[in-house]
Amino acid sequence: MRQSEFLFGLVASASTVLGAVQPWGQCGGQGWAGETTCTSGWTCVASNSYYSQCLQSTGGGNAATTLSTKVATPTATTSPNTGANGASCSIDTKFKTHSGKKYIGVATDQGLLTSGQNAQVIKDNFGQVTPENRQVPSSQSYAMKWDSTEPSKGSFSFTGADYLVNWATTNGKLIRGHTTVWHSQLPSWVSSITDKTTLQSVMTNHISTEIGHFKGKIYAWWKLPGFVDTAFKAARAADANAKLYINDYNLDSATYAKTTGMVSKVKSWVAAGTPIDGIGSQSHLSAGGSSGTAAALQALCGAASECAVTELDIASAPTSDYQNVVKACLGISNCVGITVWGLRDSDSWRASTNPLLFDSSYTAKAAYNGICSVL
């Protein structure tokens, strides 16, 4: 979901992190149950009905690590069936015919993959999966988030995440990890930490354990905010081959202060030796909101070795908007992929706006086939 996942998700002082929302962080919006007071000098400003954002105003070591992982075996699916469900192509297959393009993917989870036609439609049309961010009452919810993977200190469980990774591996899909460290979906034992050194220590252990558990299986990990240099170096040490991304929302215009700030900070971190491989733009757009995508991506992609659109959904799913986003990525040599934030409208976190490429009956919408036409 479109939460603040910028570099200030966890900042240098744990005492200030836990007392107020940090710069650029989410402070309100539809369904928001978190902190609503911004840190000093920043004000909670409504962007739309879904989001309010903080904008600038005029101790101890780790417990012994234990792993508890129950691996669920994915249900076998049939072979890809191009042209099913009203789709005129596999957008992933056509996208990858362009030089340097690696995937068009989708967000999903164990619950979705074991219900309806989700698994088959994903197999037919998408080449990568990312763990969904659905709030459902099960261990598969937030499958790679901290509250699911380390609910108590030093005790790890990867049940839902293992299912997704096993399904993707079985079916030849790339996997993007989502996410090791984030300001939301934190277990209470982490939220209660008030000492910077302790927080940094448990964060490093969490990153090392989770990324190490999936070493060699994940194409890229993203959303690694806060203590930026420490977090990214811990991730690199855990899996030297996985791509490491910093990812955020509201990077949809090259002129936004947040976009220019991201570009500047990533360039300075990379120059200082922080192993940031890519920048992700979430791209949760309103209808007509794709007009700034090409220029924004061009700026972001210039700051790192690769970039991607990571959580795409567009209110009302206008064909032209989806085409514009795809063409923007096609036009940038190091834009490697696009992830759509869900398969069908009825399962979207923005379900009332019908923002996805398949309707509730798993039928490809005009926007899906419009992408085929520009590929």
For 180-216, what is each residue's pLDDT tens digit?
A: 776 667 888 988 999 989 988 998 999 999 999 999 9
Asked if the structure places residue 121 within a domain, the reply is: yes
185 in the same domain as 161: yes
For 75-107, what is each residue's pLDDT tens digit?
A: 444 566 777 999 999 999 999 999 999 999 999
Asked if the structure places residue 1 within a domain, the reply is: no
Nearest one of 230, 227, 243 to 277, comparing CA atoms: 243
Other C-beta atoms closer than 10 Å to the C-beta of 357 total 29
40 in the same domain as 182: no
287 in the same domain as 255: yes
188 in the same domain as 46: no
3-state secondary structure 302-351: CCCCEEEEEEEEECCCCHHHHHHHHHHHHCCCCEEEEEECCCEHHHCCCH
233 in the same domain as 99: yes
Q: Are 105 and 280 in contact, with CB atoms under 8 Å apart?
A: no
For 318-342, what is each residue's pLDDT tens digit?
A: 999 999 999 999 999 999 999 999 9
CATH assignment of the domain containing 366 = 3.20.20.80
318 in the same domain as 206: yes
Asked if the structure places residue 9 within a domain, the reply is: no
Specify the range with the lowest mean pLDDT, choosing from 215-229, 279-293, 353-367.
215-229
CA distance 313 to 355: 5
The residue-averaged pLDDT of 230-244 equals: 93
Q: Burial of 92 by CB count in 10 Å (0-12 exposed, 13-18 middle, 19+ buried)?
A: buried
Domain coverage including residue 246: 66-374
Q: Are 210 and 268 in contact, with CB atoms under 8 Å apart?
A: no
The residues, ordered by sequence, that sit 6+ positions from 216 with a Cβ below 8 Å of its Cβ are 239, 241
166 in the same domain as 42: no
pLDDT higher than threshold 60 for residue 305: yes
Length of the chain: 375
281 in the same domain as 250: yes
CA distance 148 to 145: 6
Give the chain's domain count. 2
125 in the same domain as 264: yes
The residues, ordered by sequence, that sit 6+ positions from 6 with a Cβ below 8 Å of its Cβ are 23, 24, 25, 225, 246, 248, 258, 262
72 in the same domain as 48: no
Residue type, 241: N
Asked if the structure places residue 3 within a domain, the reply is: no
Predicted TM-score (pTM) above 0.85: no
Q: Are 235 and 180 in contact, with CB atoms under 8 Å apart?
A: yes
Asked if the structure places residue 79 within a domain, the reply is: yes
